[in-house]
Amino acid sequence: MRIESKLSIRLARTKASRQAMKERKSSRSAASKKNTTSNKSTTTNSILSALNSKKTTASKYQTSTTTQLKTNYTAVKTVAGKVQEDAAKLLATGSDSLFGKALSVKAAQENSTAAENTLGETNELTAAESAKAKESVLKVINSFIDDYNTMLNKLDNIGGSLNNMYAKQLRNYVTQNETALKNIGITKTKAGTLSVNQEKLKTADISAIQKVFGTNGSFVYKVASKSKSVEVNAETNLASLNKSTYSSFNYNKSGISYNSDKTSSYHAKG
């Protein structure tokens, strides 16, 4: 009986020891799995954070670029319209037009008797009126040149094949008329813009000025025609920038992107 009792005790102890060992292994395994899961979760969160951080940076860059394009195209559209308005004033015909009045003044000054016979006393102009008529012409010419320079600079800033082509054509118009422009005090800079010698322009013959700025096919006529194309292109790009949208995505733990906001994605350059 004593031997059997001792054997029973040993068996019980062995069984208890094995059970304890089994429980310890199970506990260690559970802890290991928990740590592995935790590490995987941390790694996943780090990856998701990095992906969404890159997305945020890209989104900010996209928004900044789009805003800048809108600003530039709005400026181009506005200044191209002003170029056409100035050109329309210079190209207008008739006795009440800018050059019509200025040329009448010239005729009156050269031959007051002939002017009286052809224009009548009500159209005789004094020296002061003569200067005023020419000043009106020069004021519009200076405005035209300022707007031309601004338009050219804006096209260069935006870039793109079409805008670059417009800028090149505008510079070619200057080159084609370089001598005529220089004769009335207007010269080309290295950048292709125009610089005005106001004193020389003021004393230039009104007929010489008209050949460059007041006739069909002249320098101002060609620039005005091209500025219309520039304006239309700016309007087209603005419409696309305002209407086009792209979805901004984030990544979730399933590796699936989801929409978080919408903003313009059109990144056109002429």
Q: What is the 3-state secondary structure (H, E, C) of the chain?
A: CHHHHHHHHHHHHHHHHHHHHHHHHHHHHHHHHHHHHHHHHHHHHHHHHHHHHHHHHHHHHHHHHHHHHHHHHHHHHHHHHHHHHHHHHHHCCCCCCHHHHHHHHHHHHHCHHHHHHHHCHHHCCCHHHHHHHHHHHHHHHHHHHHHHHHHHHHHHHHCCHHHHHHHHHHHHHHHHCHHHHHHCCEEECCCCCEEECHHHHHHCCHHHHHHHHCCCCCHHHHHHHHHHHHHHHHHHHHHHHHHCCEEEEEECCCCCEEEEEEECCCCCCC
Q: Domain map of the chain by residue range?
A: 69-92+137-248
pLDDT exceeds 90 at position 38: no
User: What pLDDT was estimated at residue 104?
Assistant: 83
Tokens coding 226: 């091209």
Mean pLDDT of 20-49: 62
HSE at residue 51, side-chain half, CA atoms within 13 A, is: 16
pTM for the model: 0.67
Question: In whole numbers, what is the pLDDT of the chain averaged over residues?
Answer: 78
pLDDT exceeds 90 at position 36: no
Pairing of strands 186-188, 194-196: antiparallel
Residue type, 64: S
Q: Report the candidate in 138, 139, 145 with the shortest Cα–Cα distance to residue 223.
A: 145
User: What pLDDT was estimated at residue 256?
Assistant: 36
Read off the pLDDT of residues 199-222 as tens digits, 9 standing for 90 and up: 999 999 999 999 999 999 999 999
pLDDT exceeds 80 at position 232: yes
User: What pLDDT was estimated at residue 30?
Assistant: 59
Q: Report the candidate in 213, 208, 236 with the shortest Cα–Cα distance to residue 223.
A: 213
